[in-house]
Amino acid sequence: MKIYIDSANLKEIEKWLNYGVIDGVTTNPSIMLKDGVYDVEAGIKKIARLIDPLPISVEVTTNDSKEMIEQARRLAALGHNIVVKIPVENEFGVPCYGLIGQLEKSGVTVNATAIMSFGQIILAAKAGASYVSLFAGRVADEGGNSPEVIVESVEWLEHWEYKSQLIVGSIRSVGDILNAATAGAHIITIPPQYLSKMADHKYTRETVKEFIADSKSALKIMGQGKT
Ligand code: E4P
């Protein structure tokens, strides 16, 4: 299983990259805005260079099919490790599966995004997407059972040998991460604050404190023995 960081914050990306626990980066226009990356192309280039050869996903920002293709091509040209996120439908309900296939065939790696159901995963995989992004938190917001969707999607993708890798995003807790891992997600994309929560445990800190204190006590006893 791979872990991606769901962030456009260069410092956070670099930190987790140096820990050796992330395999890629995902972003979306809201993450860019929150992390203060207003010049998308410049920001993406910096991240792409930093994590090279790991992949970074960046999303198109239009409802128009022709513009989606143009944006996707421009974004993909920014770096060889750039993956372009195409929503499975636009905000008016126009399906984007045709664009996904067209882009993949022309050499652009596509992450089919804003996926909320197993059905959309099936269609995005059939269209040829390299990645299919399920928004687990948003599925749960609407009363859906995300772990169930993950299990059925991974089983189906693997049974029929589709190339699409399932990315589970929209993480809202460490519990969501563990549920996605148990359900068999190929990749989980995690916001930095949940990576920090996942890394830390109060009892680990207390245990280390206890061991260091005891080793100091042993040194003190040794020192006393010498005199
Ligand atoms: C990642 O690919 C998604 O864009 C992201 O995880 C969505 O998260 P949200 O539902 O918290 O906005």
Q: Label residue 227 by pLDDT band (50, 70, 90).
A: low
**CA end-to-end span of the chain:** 56
Residue 100 placed within a domain: yes
Residue 65 placed within a domain: yes
| Residue percentage of the chain with pLDDT more than 70 | 99
DSSP 131-181: EEEEEHHHHHHTT--HHHHHHHHHHHHHHTT--PEEEEE---SHHHHHHHH
Residue 208 placed within a domain: no
pLDDT tens digit string along 40-59? 999 999 999 999 999 999 99
DSSP-derived 3-state class of residue 129: coil
Domain count, the chain: 1
Residue 136 placed within a domain: yes
Residue 212 placed within a domain: no
What is the total residue count of the chain? 227
Residue 123 is predicted with a pLDDT of 98
pLDDT tens digit string along 97-152? 999 999 999 999 999 999 999 999 999 999 999 999 999 999 999 999 999 999 99
Q: Determine whether 163 is an active site residue.
A: no
CATH code for position 172: 3.20.20.70
Residue 224 is predicted with a pLDDT of 83
Distance from the alpha carbon of residue 169 to the mean position of ligand 1, in angstroms: 5
Residue 6 placed within a domain: yes
Options 11, 34, 85, 163, the catalytic residue: 85
Q: What is the mean pLDDT of the chain?
A: 97
Residue 222 placed within a domain: no
**Alpha carbon of 202 to those of 9, 51, 105, 118, 143: distances in Å?**
26, 31, 50, 38, 32
Residue 205 placed within a domain: no
Which residue segment(s) compose the domain that 184 sits in? Answer: 2-200
pTM of the shown model? 0.95
Task: Give the ligand 1 atom nearest the CA of 113.
Answer: 2
